[in-house]
Amino acid sequence: MKKTYLLILLGTIILTSCNSIKIIDKPVVFDKERDSLTLEYLETRYGLVQKTPTITPKMVVVHWTVIPTLEKSFTAFNPAKLPNWRPEIANASALNVSSQFLVDQDGTIYRLMPETNMARHVIGLNHCAIGIENVGGTADNPLTKKQLKSNIKIINYLKKKYPNIEYVIGHFEYTNFENHELWLEKDDGYRTEKTDPGVEFLNKIRDATAKYNWKPVPQK
């Protein structure tokens, strides 16, 4: 029987299991404003009218922050409303970007919100996608081997917890789903060009989790 332990340390909850994964809860603001903006996003972008801002996970989307530190990455995601430095997506919603997980360069895993709360991290698919953000992703701060190992651990953990997850994709692949049944974005003009988390990083994740027989990403 799998055993799970909760250790409370200096106000932080660390979850450990026989899968040797440690997840530190570092919640972003998810107040009434974020709750309301998330419900509004689900309705206006996807046509989903819900009482709670929750999702049924069917995929994991891997990202990089292009921000050099954990704290600066967290600060970017923390407010409920989108800051003024993201004008390219501001017209779509005032909801701030975020993800369920954030992985520091040393491999430490942080959970920013409950796994089944909707986070704004991937156009068209937020309603069914759990996001993993990785600190860095630039030439000066490339993603690390420790981050790779942690991403693999998170995906193993999520697949066992949510068996309906069938896809693991990189953010750069999201537009391949435009004609897929999971794609719900109503605005044909709302797209951004992405390259994260890099093909090599993503392929290593898929190779390490190949036992799950992920569904292939649709071809354009």
How open is the CA angle 45-127-13, to the nearest 5 degrees?
130
Domain of 74: which CATH number? 3.40.80.10
Give a yes or no: residue 13 inside a domain: no
Give a yes or no: residue 220 inside a domain: no
Contact call for residues 6 and 13 (beta carbons, < 8 A): yes
- Residue 2 is classified by DSSP as -
Q: Which residues contact 100 (CB under 8 A, 6 or more apart)?
A: 111, 112, 113, 114, 115, 117, 119, 130, 131, 132
- From start to end of the chain, where are the E strands? 4-9, 12-17, 23-25, 59-64, 101-103, 109-111, 129-134, 167-170
Digitized pLDDT (tens) for each residue of the chain, 220 residues in all: 443 334 333 334 445 443 589 999 999 999 999 999 999 999 999 999 999 999 999 999 999 999 999 999 999 999 999 987 677 787 899 999 999 999 999 999 999 999 999 999 999 999 999 999 999 999 999 999 999 999 999 999 999 999 999 999 999 999 999 999 999 999 999 999 999 999 999 999 999 999 999 999 999 8
Burial 171-186 (b: 16+ CB within 10 A, else e): bbbbbebeeeeebbbe
Give a yes or no: residue 5 inside a domain: no
Spatial distance between the Cα atoms of 35 and 95, rounded to a whole number of angstroms: 9
Cis amide leading into 197 (omega within 30): yes
The residue range of the domain holding 114 is 21-212
Give a yes or no: residue 176 inside a domain: yes
Domain count, the chain: 1
Q: The pTM is what?
A: 0.91
Give a yes or no: residue 166 inside a domain: yes
Give a yes or no: residue 181 inside a domain: yes
* Single-letter residue type at 164: N
Give a yes or no: residue 10 inside a domain: no
| Residue corresponding to tokens 């693999």 | 152
Give a yes or no: residue 137 inside a domain: yes
Q: Rounded to a whole number, what is the distance in angstroms from the first to the last CA of the chain?
A: 44
